[in-house]
């Protein structure tokens, strides 16, 4: 299926700075990202029913959805609505990726643990590399639940900082 976005980023405003860094890393890799505060995101949301737009983006127009889970995320209506939409439409496909920024957990009734990719980090470069690896593997038609060498391309990386991540379990060289 051809999606408008490779990934949509769902977060609480308290975590916006971290998520914005992830957004810039992903954009540098030419990944199509929905990030509401971006200029493109604001154009999409401008003058429209935001709830309908979020339903469309998080439910149908993004291949993956990354949820940046924190105590602030869990306590807010809009991010939790985005999470519910994502799990309802994509949860059984393994296309929803909760990223745990602290020790807060999603309510267990929200998702099926067998079909959910879990990830814990508060480092934007590591998060972006993990997401980019999943997206690129999916585009190649590969398995996305276990990617042995998922890492962003350091050759031709358009970000102002280049980095290499050997594996998600290995050493990180920044």
Per the structure, how many domains does the chain have?
Answer: 1
CATH assignment of the domain containing 139:
3.40.50.10140
Domain range enclosing 95: 5-146
pTM confidence score: 0.79
- 155: in domain: no
Alpha-carbon torsion, ordered 29, 158, 57, 99, to 10 deg: 70
User: Is 151 contained in some domain?
Assistant: no
Q: Give a yes or no: residue 116 inside a domain.
A: yes
Residue 168 lies in a domain: no
Residue 172 included in any domain: no
- One digit per residue, the tens of pLDDT, for the chain of length 174 reads 789 999 999 999 999 999 999 999 999 999 999 999 999 999 988 877 888 898 999 999 999 999 999 999 999 999 999 999 999 998 888 899 999 999 988 887 776 666 566 788 899 999 999 999 999 988 887 554 443 444 444 333 444 444 444 444 555 555
- 16 located within any domain: yes
């Amino acid at each position: 299926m051809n999606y408008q976005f490779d990934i949509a980023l769902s977060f609480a405003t308290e975590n916006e700075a971290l998520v914005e860094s992830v957004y810039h890393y992903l954009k540098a890799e030419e990944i199509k990202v929905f990030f509401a505060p971006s200029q493109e995101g604001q154009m999409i949301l401008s003058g429209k029913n935001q709830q309908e737009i979020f339903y469309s983006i998080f439910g149908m127009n993004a291949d993956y959805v990354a949820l940046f889970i924190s105590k602030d995320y869990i306590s807010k209506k809009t991010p939790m609505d985005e999470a519910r939409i994502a799990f309802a439409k994509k949860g059984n496909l393994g296309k929803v990726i909760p990223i745990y920024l602290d020790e807060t957990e999603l309510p267990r009734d929200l998702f099926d643990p067998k079909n959910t990719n879990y990830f814990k980090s508060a480092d934007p470069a590591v998060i972006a590399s993990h997401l980019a690896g999943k997206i690129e593997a999916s585009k190649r038609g590969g398995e996305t639940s276990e990617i042995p060498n998922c890492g962003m391309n350091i050759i031709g990386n358009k970000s102002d900082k280049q980095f290499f991540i050997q594996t998600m379990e290995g050493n990180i060289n920044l």
